[in-house]
Each structure stands twice: as structure tokens, then as C-alpha cells.
């Protein structure tokens, strides 16, 4: 037995009573067939309705030919049930869906852009067109036309016809032929085949705005904010602009100029900072090199040092600088709050095989890491063992 579709008769009907025809336990819940329903099944890019049957949440609604399957979290039993539609959810997706018809119609009217695919997500409705790009001027025309159509509050009619009658209608795109064809006609503006749910007129869509364009599979994909989502988006963006006005100390029409200035200043400061770090690293490396306290058996200098929470770039530069010099082995550590960062290295010509000493050293600080001649680095979990780590390194390499 087929299911009577109450949603096509009255889109505002939220409550209904129906008879259970069949209940089957399936993987995603109890599959329930009713003699009639207000629940719209997922189709044509529009998600399924949400709501409750006998106060049990309806998790999904699917259709197969003339039957509609409701998926429920629990068994609703037998006999008569009462259904209730989540109208907030329905209205949001009707706004998205009806809005998309209007936008696709406007895209066609402005530049003969065909709608290739539509996706109605929980944040955006995206429309992919058969063109690689759309100029900002044309996009503005599309937005203007779509919002004019909404403002004119044109009637939206659902027309049910059979195949023979199809030539009487000026369709924007060819539609799939079934026994019963559903056409959606928006005043004198647009007509396409569609089995989705729409408002009775364009006004309730309220407002549409394109917020992003990107290229995908050689097509332009436009992201839209439609209806309440557009107002919410405007409110959120306005909040961000207010915050930015406060942070940047300027009006929004000067934001770009101000940010460009800050970026340029940032680049100059970074360059200066790098220069100073290099100079400082040179001085510290020179100092460490001149004040070597220990030597290996074959006369290589052993340089060990630790810092507390020092700048990572500085340590990197110190080790780089030291390793340019001849006949040394180094072990440097930077003690951070939770861990310890270590660098071990040697001059190019020194035949030091870190792997031979690795486990002996790592056990001191519960460390890990690696690298290859002449530089190895990593972290350890016992910052309090920094001194023991350095002295173990000295003991081990002394015999070289
Ligand atoms: Zn539709």
C-alpha cells in the first residue's frame, strides 16, 4: 500500500494522525510505513523532515516508489499514531530550497548559467554552475534579481501534469519523466520540474546573499546564505566588524589599508628580529667556543650548555653557528615548562655516531628524537634531569 503525501497538500500542517501499516527493525532504526504522512522524505537535494511519531524521534525519512519509510529510534507499536513535524527545521530547508530555485532562475536569466549541482548543508547552500567563473558584476546582478523576485512575492505553484502536457511549459532545464510530473512555477519568472517542498510565494525566502565563490572541477561553485541564515550571517559579521573597529582603531572602510600597513611593519620587524637573533647567536656561539672546558681524548672540544625557556630560533642559530666550526662536539638543551628540547651535533669532520650513545642518553631524560650526521635533535620528558643529561654526554664522548 502506498503512503498518502500530506505535505504536498498543506506545507504548514505540522500535526497528523495515521495508521501504522508496517514496522520492521532495521540497522538505522524501526522502519515504519504509515497510510499517510506529513514527513517529507529526503529527495532532490532537500534533506528529510525531522520530528516525532508518538513522541519518538524520527531520525530519517526515505522514499521508495510510492512508499515512505520513517526511521524511528524506538518501536511505535501498532494501530493509530500521531505525528509532529519539526517546523523550524522544515522552514529552514524550505527557505534554502525555494531560495535555490530563485537563485538558479536568476543565474539563468542574467548569464545563461546552468545549475549543475546543488548541496544544502547545515551552514550554506552551494550551487555549482556550468561555467568556470562568474564576474563580480554578473554575480551582483544575480543577487539583485533574486532579491527583487523575493520582494515581488510572486506566487509559487505546484503543477502536476502528465508527459503529454510538458511541451506547454517553458522549462529552464529538462526534467525527469515520470507518470506524474511535478512542476514548480514561480510567477512568470521560472519553471522547473521538482518534487521538493516550496513556500506558496517567494516572499518568505526573505533574502539571499552569495558569500563565497570557488572553482571546483572546472566549474564555479557559489556558496549562499539564504533566509534566516542570511540575517544571522549579517549579525555575526557585524559583530566581528565591531570588534575589529575596536582592535584596529579605525573604521571598516580603512581596514584593508590598516592591515596592509600592519603586515608591512610585521615583515620589517621580522627581518630585524632575524638579524638580531643571528648576531646574538654569533656572540653566544663565539663565547661558548672560546670557553670550552672539556676535551675528548683525541682533542675535540666538548661544548655543553642549557637555557631556560629560550627562543627556539636562537638555539637553532647557535647550534648552526657552532657546527660551522672545526673539531667540536656539542650538546645544547632548552628547558621548557613541561619538557626539555635537546640538540646534539659535531663538526663535519668528526666521526661521531650518535646512534651508539642514543639509548644511554635518552634514558636520562625519557627522551626521543633523531637526525643524521652532523645534527640530531628531539625532546625529553624530564626537564629536571637537564644537568645529568649534559654531564652524561660529556662522560660518553670523552673517550672519542
Ligand atoms: Zn524545488
CA angle at 249 for the pair 245 and 253, rounded to the nearest 5°: 55
- Note whether 345 and 362 are same-domain residues: yes
Q: In the chain, pLDDT over 70 holds for what percent of residues?
A: 100
- 278 falls within a domain: no
In a 10 Å sphere around its CB, with 0-12 CB exposed, 13-18 middle and 19+ buried, how is residue 90 labelled?
Answer: buried
- 371 falls within a domain: yes
Q: Are 92 and 122 in contact (CB under 8 A)?
A: no
- 215 falls within a domain: yes
- Note whether 105 and 230 are same-domain residues: yes
Distance 356 CA to ligand 1 centre (A): 71
Neighbours of ion ligand 1 (CB under 5 A): 184, 194, 196
Q: What is the largest CA-CA distance in the chain?
A: 101
Which residue's entry shows cell 628531539?
A: 378
Q: Are 110 and 134 in contact (CB under 8 A)?
A: no
Domain of residue 142, residue span = 91-234
Distance 323 CA to ligand 1 centre (A): 70
| Mean pLDDT confidence for 270-298 | 95
Confidence of residue 255 (pLDDT cuts 50, 70, 90): very high
| CATH assignment of the domain containing 48 | 2.40.30.130
Domains: count for the chain: 3
Confidence of residue 77 (pLDDT cuts 50, 70, 90): confident
- Note whether 95 and 228 are same-domain residues: yes
The pLDDT of residue 329: 97
Condensed to tens digits (0 to 9), the pLDDT of residues 176-207 reads: 767 678 899 999 999 999 888 999 999 999 99
| CATH assignment of the domain containing 96 | 3.30.980.10
Q: Are 319 and 332 in contact (CB under 8 A)?
A: yes
Condensed to tens digits (0 to 9), the pLDDT of residues 196-243 reads: 899 999 999 999 999 999 999 899 999 999 999 999 999 999 999 999
Q: How far is CA 158 from CA 43, 81, 374, in A?
A: 16, 29, 76
Q: Are 46 and 197 in contact (CB under 8 A)?
A: yes
Confidence of residue 133 (pLDDT cuts 50, 70, 90): very high
Please report which helix (H) or strand (E) contains residue 87, including its range.
helix 87-111
Confidence of residue 1 (pLDDT cuts 50, 70, 90): confident
The pLDDT of residue 93: 94
- Note whether 53 and 117 are same-domain residues: no
Does position 165 have pLDDT exceeding 90, yes or no? no
Distance 185 CA to ligand 1 centre (A): 10
Q: Are 102 and 202 in contact (CB under 8 A)?
A: yes
Confidence of residue 127 (pLDDT cuts 50, 70, 90): very high
| Mean pLDDT confidence for 8-37 | 93
- 247 falls within a domain: no
Last residue of one domain, picked from the residues 29, 50, 85 = 85
The pLDDT of residue 389: 96
Last residue of one domain, picked from the residues 234, 255, 273 = 234
- Note whether 158 and 203 are same-domain residues: yes
For residue 202, give the nearest of 119, 145, 117, 267 by alpha carbon. Answer: 145
Condensed to tens digits (0 to 9), the pLDDT of residues 47-72 reads: 999 999 999 999 999 999 889 999 99
The pLDDT of residue 181: 85
Distance 195 CA to ligand 1 centre (A): 6
- Note whether 196 and 306 are same-domain residues: no
The pLDDT of residue 328: 97
The pLDDT of residue 199: 94
Distance 346 CA to ligand 1 centre (A): 71
- 255 falls within a domain: no
CA angle at 85 for the pair 9 and 33, rounded to the nearest 5°: 75
| CATH assignment of the domain containing 369 | 3.10.310.40
The dihedral built from the CA positions of residue 34, 38, 42 and 48, taken in this order, carries a sign that is: negative
Q: Are 365 and 316 in contact (CB under 8 A)?
A: no
- 239 falls within a domain: no
Distance 309 CA to ligand 1 centre (A): 61
Condensed to tens digits (0 to 9), the pLDDT of residues 344-389 reads: 999 999 999 999 999 999 999 999 999 999 999 999 999 999 999 9
- Note whether 77 and 180 are same-domain residues: no
- 207 falls within a domain: yes
- Note whether 105 and 224 are same-domain residues: yes
- Note whether 117 and 73 are same-domain residues: no
The pLDDT of residue 66: 86
Condensed to tens digits (0 to 9), the pLDDT of residues 92-118 reads: 999 999 999 999 999 999 999 999 999
Arithmetic mean of pLDDT over the chain: 94
Last residue of one domain, picked from the residues 22, 56, 85 = 85
Beta bridge partners of 46: 43
- Note whether 230 and 331 are same-domain residues: no
- Note whether 22 and 119 are same-domain residues: no
- Note whether 53 and 114 are same-domain residues: no
> CA-to-CA distance for 247 and 82, rounded, in angstroms?
54
Distance 197 CA to ligand 1 centre (A): 6
Distance 198 CA to ligand 1 centre (A): 6
- 287 falls within a domain: no
Distance 399 CA to ligand 1 centre (A): 82
Amino acid at each position: 500500500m502506498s503512503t498518502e503525501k500530506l505535505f504536498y497538500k498543506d506545507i504548514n500542517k505540522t500535526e497528523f494522525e495515521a495508521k501504522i501499516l508496517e514496522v520492521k527493525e532495521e540497522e538505522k532504526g524501526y522502519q515504519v510505513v504509515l497510510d499517510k504522512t506529513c514527513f517529507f522524505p529526503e529527495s532532490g537535494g532537500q534533506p528529510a523532515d525531522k520530528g516525532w511519531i508518538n513522541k519518538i524521534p524520527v531520525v530519517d525519512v526515505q522514499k521508495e516508489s510510492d512508499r515512505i519509510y520513517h526511521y524511528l529510534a524506538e518501536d511505535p507499536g501498532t494501530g493509530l499514531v500521531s505525528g509532529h513535524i519539526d517546523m523550524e527545521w522544515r522552514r529552514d530547508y524550505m527557505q534554502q530550497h525555494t531560495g535555490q530555485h530563485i537563485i538558479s532562475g536568476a543565474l539563468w536569466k542574467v548569464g545563461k548559467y546552468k545549475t549543475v549541482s546543488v548541496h544544502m548543508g547545515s551552514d550554506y547552500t552551494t550551487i555549482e554552475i556550468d561555467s568556470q567563473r562568474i564576474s563580480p558584476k554578473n554575480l551582483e546582478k544575480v543577487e539583485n534579481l533574486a532579491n527583487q523576485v523575493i520582494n515581488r512575492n510572486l506566487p509559487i505553484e505546484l503543477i502536476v501534469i502528465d508527459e503529454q502536457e510538458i511541451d506547454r511549459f517553458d522549462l529552464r532545464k529538462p526534467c525527469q519523466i515520470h507518470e506524474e510530473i511535478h512542476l514548480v512555477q514561480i510567477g512568470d519568472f521560472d519553471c522547473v520540474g521538482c518534487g521538493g517542498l516550496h513556500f506558496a510565494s517567494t516572499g518568505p525566502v526573505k533574502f539571499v546573499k552569495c558569500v563565497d565563490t570557488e572553482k571546483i572541477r572546472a566549474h564555479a561553485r557559489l556558496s549562499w546564505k539564504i533566509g534566516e541564515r542570511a540575517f544571522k550571517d549579517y549579525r555575526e559579521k557585524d559583530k566581528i566588524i565591531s570588534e575589529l573597529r575596536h582592535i584596529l582603531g579605525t573604521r571598516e572602510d580603512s581596514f584593508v589599508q590598516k592591515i596592509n600597513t600592519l603586515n608591512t611593519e610585521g615583515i620589517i620587524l621580522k627581518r630585524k628580529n632575524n638579524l638580531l637573533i643571528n648576531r646574538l647567536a654569533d656572540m653566544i656561539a663565539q663565547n661558548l667556543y672560546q670557553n670550552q672546558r672539556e676535551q675528548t681524548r683525541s682533542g675535540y672540544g666538548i661544548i655543553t650548555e642549557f637555557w631556560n625557556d629560550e627562543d627556539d630560533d636562537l638555539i637553532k642559530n647557535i647550534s648552526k653557528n657552532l657546527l660551522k666550526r672545526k673539531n667540536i662536539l656539542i650538546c645544547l638543551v632548552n628547558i621548557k615548562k613541561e619538557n626539555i628540547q635537546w640538540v646534539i651535533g659535531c663538526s663535519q669532520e668528526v666521526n661521531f655516531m650518535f646512534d651508539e650513545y642514543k639509548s644511554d642518553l635518552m634514558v636520562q631524560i625519557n627522551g626521543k628524537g633523531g637526525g643524521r650526521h652532523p645534527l640530531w635533535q628531539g625532546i625529553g620528558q624530564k626537564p629536571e634531569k637537564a644537568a645529568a643529561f649534559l654531564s652524561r654526554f660529556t662522560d660518553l664522548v670523552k673517550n672519542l
